[in-house]
Every structure is written in structure tokens, then in C-alpha cells.
Amino acid sequence: MGEELPQSVLFCCDHNAVRSPMAEGIMKQFYGTDTYVQSAGIKNDLEIDGFAITVCQEMGVELSRHRSRSFEEMEKWGDPISSFDLVVALTPASRREVQDLTRYSHCDVEYWPISDPCGIGETREQRLEAYRGARDEIIARFKERWGAP
């Protein structure tokens, strides 16, 4: 059995287009609505990745309506990083950014280094396998941290 779920979690990566939206969607699917879950990126310069949508659909997680957002946009919308109980950085760059943005906050920060599936593989199936690998790493972290859904 894992730890108790926090009241709010923010997953973050570089562009909020692959890993962090997958983590957000999967967490909502696994653990329901008792925890407020969001995702963001350092930048908002990419749309949600089609391969991320596909591998999440395979397990019933809908990402096609996800709209990428940056830390700055979240702040403007009244959802600052410091308001989350737990911030999980999924990339080295987002880890550095989050540590800087939360240095005077009371939120917990964790780093889960999830593999970047972008650009891996020559064929569609090879690319999907790379994205499934990243998805499965996220799932393993959830089970390790909070137990099986």
C-alpha cells in the first residue's frame, strides 16, 4: 500500500505536450477526483502530442482535449505552482525551473525522470512503443508512490 494521496498535484515537463499531460490524465483515471491534478510546462509552444493521445487512449485515458499551458499561464489564471501540495517534475529542465519557482514555498517537490519518447523509432509502431514505455514508467511511479489504483 502506498502513501496517502495529496490534496493537489502538479506534473510538469518542458512543453506540457507529452509526459506531464500523460501523468495528469493517468492519475485522474487511477485515483479519481479526490486529488486536484493539473499539468504544465516551462513553455507552452507545442500542442498535445498525437502519440501521447494514442497510447493513453489504449488504456481509456482521454487526452485529445488537453490544451498545453505554461507555468506563467497558470499563475495568471490563479493557479500558481506554490499552491500545490506536491509538484512532480518529469524532466531535468522542469526540475530546475520548479526548484527555482518553489524555493520559498511549502510545497513538496519530487523529480521523476521519465524517458523522453519523442523522436525515438523509425516506424509508427516503434514510436508508439517508445511512448508506451514512457507511459508505463509513469504508471510504475504511481504504483510505487500511491499504490495500485
- What's the CA gap between 101 and 143, in Å, rounded? 28
Specify if 24 maps to a domain. yes
Could you tell me the strand order of the sheet in which 36-41 lies?
Answer: 36-41, 8-13, 86-89, 108-111
The burial class, CB within 10 Å (0-12 / 13-18 / 19+), for 26 is buried
Question: What confidence score (pLDDT) does residue 38 get?
Answer: 95
Model pLDDT, residue 125: 95
Whether residue 3 is contained in a domain is answered as no
Examine residue 19 and state whether it is found in any structural domain, yes or no. Answer: yes
Task: Give the CATH number of the domain where residue 127 resides.
Answer: 3.40.50.2300
Q: Give me the pLDDT at residue 47, please.
A: 87
- What is the predicted pLDDT for the residue at 40? 95
Check the CA dihedral 111-8-28-73 and report its sign: negative
pLDDT at 1: 57
Q: What is the mean pLDDT of each run of 10 residues along the chain (149 residues)?
A: 87 95 97 92 88 97 93 88 94 93 89 93 93 97 93
Residue 134 lies in a domain: yes
Inside any domain, residue 2: no
Domain hosting 55: range is 8-146
The predicted pLDDT at position 103 comes to 85
**C-alpha–C-alpha distance, residues 12 and 47, integer Å:** 15
Does 1 fall in a domain?
A: no
How many folded domains does the chain comprise? 1
Task: Classify the C-alpha dihedral 43-46-47-49 as positive or negative.
Answer: negative
